[in-house]
Structure 1
């Protein structure tokens, strides 16, 4: 699976009040770059309602929203760190809300690619110093480099 990562899909200190705002923001950026089809923007919101993507961990917490591979033109990740955490529902216990500060939106264009990418992203989730470094980066380039190291 070839992964396309670029600085144009890396956003630091995003200001959002809700998970819906963050999801729309990242999905629209993926669409503008031609990585996903227009339907992806709505599909990501619908999927999040049914299958929450907030991951339980120590802070800063991560969410990994994604939608169906058929809506993806180019396999990539879009990442946002948030100035203030927003609530996502816990992937394991839907009724539990988690303050999330790192959102990694997966646009995976292969049917089984999501599993491979999830395994790589799990390493980020298990690495608290890495997550803290992601929040503290001073440039999009620096954040992209941390992401590249984690999923390479």
Structure 2
């Protein structure tokens, strides 16, 4: 999975027990976290909400359900990958509007400055990792930001 730049995973961008009652509140709270750390521009929130509406990112895998929201590079200050394990699953529409809504247990927000082809390669690499039951189990077992970064980096290189 060499398509993923593992340097983009950082402990400061791993959030556990992230509290949000729905997707809208999730994006609002994540915007605060990312803005405070200098990763996004003021346009990010509206852009990611709009993109998620048009191109939903929920993915129901066998081992866990995830969402991989992202938006266009012009809404970013610098590249990042944020990993969020919400306090309670957050409902996302199924990717490509196919199937039922997904109760995401893990959300990986991509802030990539890459071209569309590179972004697709990263999405495919992450989806492959989430479809691997052992990888999914190991990811869900993590309790520290450092542990999550280590597992995500190692699994992305596998």
Same topology, TM > 0.5: yes
Q: Note if 1:149 corresponds to 2:158.
A: no
Shift in Å, 1:65:
0.2
Q: Distance in 2 between matches of 1:24 and 1:59?
A: 28
Q: Distance in 2 between matches of 1:89 and 1:142?
A: 29
* Pair 1:132–1:20, CA change in 2 (3 A): farther
Q: Which segments of 5 or more consecutive residues in structure 2 lack a partner in the other structure?
A: none
Shift in Å, 1:94:
4.9
The alignment's C-alpha RMSD in Å is 2.0
- Return the TM-score normalized by structure 2: 0.85
Q: Distance in 1 between matches of 2:31 and 2:125?
A: 21
Equivalent residues, number: 152
Shift in Å, 1:108:
0.5
Q: Note if 1:139 corresponds to 2:156.
A: no
Q: Which segments of 5 or more consecutive residues in structure 1 lack a partner in the other structure?
A: none
* Pair 1:141–1:56, CA change in 2 (3 A): same
* Pair 1:151–1:29, CA change in 2 (3 A): farther
Q: Note the 1:51-130 alignment, pairs <5 A.
A: 51-94=55-98, 96-112=100-116, 113-130=118-135
- Return the TM-score normalized by structure 1: 0.88
